């Protein structure tokens, strides 16, 4: 699976959009981009995933560049409860196990 | 539809005892994954199982750790002769059979070895 690079930490003002970047320059054609988050010490929470088209669900939007070498997770209106570590993971289809990196620690501030 | 259920949520064991962690996958999910998170560290994959089969155990320590997912009942992660270094949060995830689907995690079992 391709390696991902994320900033270690980010701040965001409550009510504003949080844009979390992820670089995955070695991604191959059949690899998907997944986003999870871990709030404090809870179990990781699935957010969204995609292959090449932009995706949106009730939690977030995923924007994947045309060359697929990077992506951005967008939380449109961040709340204090969105404070968490966000993980960007690139994975191919062989099994659904995930390789977690360091992630981005997002702090939403009032 | 209940999520992934793990029990117990907290487990305290003395050094040398056995720890048994249970994971019931979401309904309709046939794949189970175990991860370990040491204090202040990231999540590390341990083992991937289907019913009655271990598919990938590349992340499992070679000794004292074993996992099963029987035809009936929950998946079990067993740690024999626990040591202080086994203290960690153990998370289970489950997914459907199809590739490139999302995996959902349970709330974890926090093992403390005293």
Q: What is the pLDDT of residues A29-49, one digit of tens each?
A: 889 999 999 998 899 999 999
Query: Which of the residue ranges A46-60, A86-100, B5-19 would you say has the lowest mean pLDDT?
Result: A86-100
**pLDDT for B40:** 84
**pLDDT for B97:** 82
User: Is B106 within 8 Å of chain A by CB?
Assistant: yes
Please give the Cα distance from B57 to B35 (Å, whole number).
Answer: 11
Please give the Cα distance from B114 to B108 (Å, whole number).
Answer: 19
Answer yes or no: do B48 and A44 touch at CB < 8 A: no
pLDDT tier, A105 (very low <50, low <70, confident <90, very high otherwise): very high
For residue B88, how many other CB atoms are within 10 A of its CB? 20
Answer yes or no: do A97 and B45 touch at CB < 8 A: yes
Answer yes or no: do B100 and A96 touch at CB < 8 A: yes
**pLDDT for A29:** 84
User: Is A93 within 8 Å of chain B by CB?
Assistant: yes
Among A95, A99, A101, the residue to mutate for chain B (most B Cβ within 10 A): A95
Show residues of chain B in contact with A89, CB under 8 Å.
Answer: none
Please give the Cα distance from A110 to A13 (Å, whole number).
Answer: 6
The dihedrals phi and psi of B19, each to the nearest 5 degrees, come to -115, 135
With beta carbons less than 8 A apart as the criterion, state whether B114 and B17 touch. no
Average of pLDDT values for A64-85?
Answer: 96
With beta carbons less than 8 A apart as the criterion, state whether B103 and B91 touch. no
Q: How many CA atoms lie within 13 A of A100 on its CB side?
A: 25
Distance from CA of A95 to the nearest CA of B (A): 6
Distance from CA of B51 to the nearest CA of A (A): 14
Residues in chain B predicted with pLDDT less than 70, given as ranges, are: 1
**pLDDT for B1:** 54
Candidate from B42, B104, B106 with C-beta closest to A46: B104
CA angle B102, A65, A6 (to 5 degrees): 65
Percent of chain A beyond pLDDT 70? 96
**pLDDT for A43:** 96
With beta carbons less than 8 A apart as the criterion, state whether A96 and B56 touch. no
Answer yes or no: do B108 and A95 touch at CB < 8 A: no
**pLDDT for B89:** 97
Average of pLDDT values for A74-85?
Answer: 97
Average model confidence (pLDDT) for chain A?
93
**pLDDT for A94:** 64
Average model confidence (pLDDT) for chain B?
94
Local structure of residue B86 (DSSP, 8 states): G
The dihedrals phi and psi of A11, each to the nearest 5 degrees, come to -115, 155
Answer yes or no: do A49 and B100 touch at CB < 8 A: yes
Q: What are residue A9's DSSP bridge partners?
A: A105
Please give the Cα distance from A47 to A49 (Å, whole number).
Answer: 7
**pLDDT for A49:** 95
């Amino acid at each position: 699976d391709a390696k991902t690079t994320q900033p270690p930490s980010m701040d965001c003002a409550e009510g504003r959009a949080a844009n979390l970047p992820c670089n995955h320059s070695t991604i191959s054609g059949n690899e998907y981009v997944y986003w999870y988050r871990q709030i404090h010490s809870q179990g990781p929470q699935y957010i969204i995933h995609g292959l090449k088209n932009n995706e949106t669900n009730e939690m977030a939007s995923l924007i994947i560049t045309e060359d697929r070498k990077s992506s951005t997770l967008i939380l449109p209106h961040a709340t204090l409860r969105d404070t968490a570590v966000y993980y960007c993971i690139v994975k191919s289809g062989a099994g659904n196990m995930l390789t977690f990196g360091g992630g981005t620690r997002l702090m939403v501030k009032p | 539809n209940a999520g992934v259920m793990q029990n117990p949520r907290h487990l305290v064991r003395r050094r040398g005892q056995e720890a048994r962690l249970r994971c019931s996958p979401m309904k309709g999910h046939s794949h189970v994954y175990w991860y370990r998170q040491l204090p202040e560290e990231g999540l590390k994959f341990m083992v991937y199982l289907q019913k009655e089969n271990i598919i990938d155990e590349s992340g499992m320590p070679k000794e004292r750790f074993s996992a099963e997912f029987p035809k009936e009942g929950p998946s079990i992660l067993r740690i024999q002769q626990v040591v202080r270094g086994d203290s960690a949060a153990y998370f289970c995830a489950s997914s459907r059979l199809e590739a490139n689907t999302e995996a959902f995690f349970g709330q974890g079992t926090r093992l403390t070895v005293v």
